[in-house]
Structure 1
Amino acid sequence: MPSLILLMIAGAAVFAYWNAARAAAEHAKQLGRDACAAAQVMWLDESVHAAGIRVRRSENGRLGFERSFRFEYSYDGVDRHIGRMVLRGEKLVSFIGPAKPSATPINLH
């Protein structure tokens, strides 16, 4: 009987990990899509790829997972650039990718 209980606990832990990983990937996908739309670039492959995971402490000191994702985007449909983001829980803690286009006035005086 104890082995059945341990098996159920292990199964629940695996399911919880898988569910949290899927939720993080969906959140990263939405962030990548929104960043590309804001920067007016093409989001290639319409997906993000898990690039790494590690255990980190959050601001409140609790242990949790920090997941890294990468995605690809293009300015003209020919070039490919890699964007990266890091999520700690559901919080975006790092983002490298397309930037919103802006114009800076030049002062000639």
Structure 2
Amino acid sequence: MPTLSLLMIAGAIAFALWNSARAAAERAEQLGREACRAANVQWLDQSVHASGIRLRRGYDGRLGFERSFRFDYSRDGSDRHVGRLVLRGRQLVSFSGPIAERETLH
């Protein structure tokens, strides 16, 4: 009986980790799409790719996961650039990629 309990606990932990990773990837995809839309560039491959994970302390001092993602975008359809973003929980802590075009005053 104790083996079954341990398996259930391990399964619950694995599900919680998978679920938080999926939520972070969805958030990263949303942020990448919004950045591409604001910069008027094309979002390529319709996805983000996880490129790293590590334990980091948040601003409140608690340990949590910091996940890195990459995505591809194109300015004119014939080039390809890499964007990167880092999430700590749901919060964006680092971004490199397309920049929104500034409006010029005439």
TM bracket (short chain)? over 0.9
Specify the alignment match of 1:46 in structure 2.
Answer: 46
Q: Map Cα deviations across residues 3-58 of structure 1 (whole Å, 9 max, x no partner).
A: 11111110000000000000000000000000000000000111100000000010
SS in 1 for 2:54: strand
Specify the alignment match of 2:79 in structure 1.
Answer: 79
TM-aligned CA deviation for residue 103 of structure 1: 5.8
Distance in 2, Cα, partners of 1:103 & 1:90: 30
Stretch of structure 1 that moved more, 96-105 or 78-87: 96-105
Specify the alignment match of 1:100 in structure 2.
Answer: 100
SS in 2 for 1:49: strand
Q: Map Cα deviations across residues 52-105 of structure 1 (whole Å, 9 max, x no partner).
A: 000001011111000000000000000000000000000000000000112678
Structure 1: tracts of 5 or more residues without a match:
none
Specify the alignment match of 2:12 in structure 1.
Answer: 12
SS in 2 for 1:60: coil
Kindly provide the amino acid, as one letter, of the partner of residue 36 in structure 2.
C
Q: TM-score, normalised by structure 2?
A: 0.95
Identity %: 70
Kindly provide the amino acid, as one letter, of the partner of residue 98 in structure 1.
P
Distance in 2, Cα, partners of 1:101 & 1:50: 27
Distance in 1, Cα, partners of 2:80 & 2:36: 13
Specify the alignment match of 1:90 in structure 2.
Answer: 90
Kindly provide the amino acid, as one letter, of the partner of residue 48 in structure 2.
V
Distance in 2, Cα, partners of 1:28 & 1:48: 7
Higher-Rg structure is: 1
CA RMSD of aligned residues (A): 1.2
